[in-house]
Amino acid sequence: MTDRKDYKLFISADIEGITGVVSWDETETGKPDYPYFRKLMAQEINAAIEAALECGVTEVVVRDAHGDARNIMPNDLHAEAKLIRNWSEGPMCMMEGLDEMFDAVLFIGYHAKAGTPNAPLKHTYSGRIFDLKVNGLSLPEAGWNALIAGHFNVPLIFASGDRALCEQVRELMRDVVTVPVKQGIGRACLSLHPDKAHQAIREGVTRAFAQRALWKPYRLEPPFRLEVTFSDEGLAWRAQWYPGVKLINERTMLFENSDFFEIMRCFSFII
């Protein structure tokens, strides 16, 4: 365990990767089961916060990063955390609030990328995107958001969600601690009991802080090449009007730049 006592931690939280979630209805405001699963979302975040505080974290910022970004009720969140709700419409998106002053990033409730077999509610940002690539690497949201963290020199150290997501994270960043809280079986899902999921997350976060020597921001080498394949050719047609975007084919756009922030800016406008 590290002997530092002043870590600043950023948590980006989604809901599709929370234990037990198997249906879009369970993730959508106004649907009958949604209040239950939004509470489970907060509980998994709190489990991570509890472990982080024991590891020397003194400041925690949680970014509600699902749907309308208004899923976490403030009084359901751990009292030591600050909460970012709603979308600013800026390029940081699921990583809103992060800057170079943070020491580490955690992802809670994340899910696999679009097209992944045996992965509940898999998608990449929205149903509009079939595939997202940077420098030829096909990325889940966790990969894209880890690159945003890397742009600010902040390492992703932990991710929880479905098993397929955890495998995708480890393929990209082998030293990141991952905790699968469920496993997809076609459209079905084998899930941990919430109490067991919370315990696994606490233990995983503790392991992540114990291996401080392995922390490393996730980066790719410039120039950066952003390729987005859309689910519909009309979306690619629209994206081509962003300055610098070219169409590779009827559904895939390309944007290149040496500054990753410009890649982020382009992506925020075309999705």
What strands, in cross-sheet order, belong to the sheet with 246-247? 137-138, 129-134, 224-230, 252-257, 246-247
Positions of CATH 3.40.50.10780 in the chain: 7-123+140-214
CATH 3.40.640.10 fits 7-123+140-214, yes or no: no
Q: Binning pLDDT at 50, 70 and 90, where does residue 4 land?
A: low
Q: Residues 193, 12, 133, 135: what is their CA dihedral angle, to the nearest 10 degrees? A: -120
For the record, the structure tokens of 174 come out as 């082998």
Q: How confident is the model over 50-96, as pLDDT tens digits? A: 999 999 999 999 999 999 999 999 999 999 999 999 999 999 999 99
8 Å CB contact between 110 and 41 = no
Q: Is the pTM of this model over 0.95?
A: yes
Cα separation, 46 vs 39, in Å, equals 10
Peptide bond into 223 cis (omega under 30): yes
Q: Which of 215, 217, 219, 216 is nearest to 263 (CA)?
A: 219
Q: Binning pLDDT at 50, 70 and 90, where does residue 6 land?
A: confident
Q: Binning pLDDT at 50, 70 and 90, where does residue 1 land?
A: very low
Helix (H, G, I), strand (E, B), or coil: what is residue 123?
coil
Question: Is 193 among the residues known to form the active site?
Answer: no
Q: How confident is the model over 149-192, as pLDDT tens digits? A: 999 999 999 999 999 999 999 999 999 999 999 999 999 999 99
The single residue of 66, 78, 123, 151 carrying the catalytic annotation is 123
Q: CA 17, 21, 26: angle at the middle one, nearest 5?
A: 120
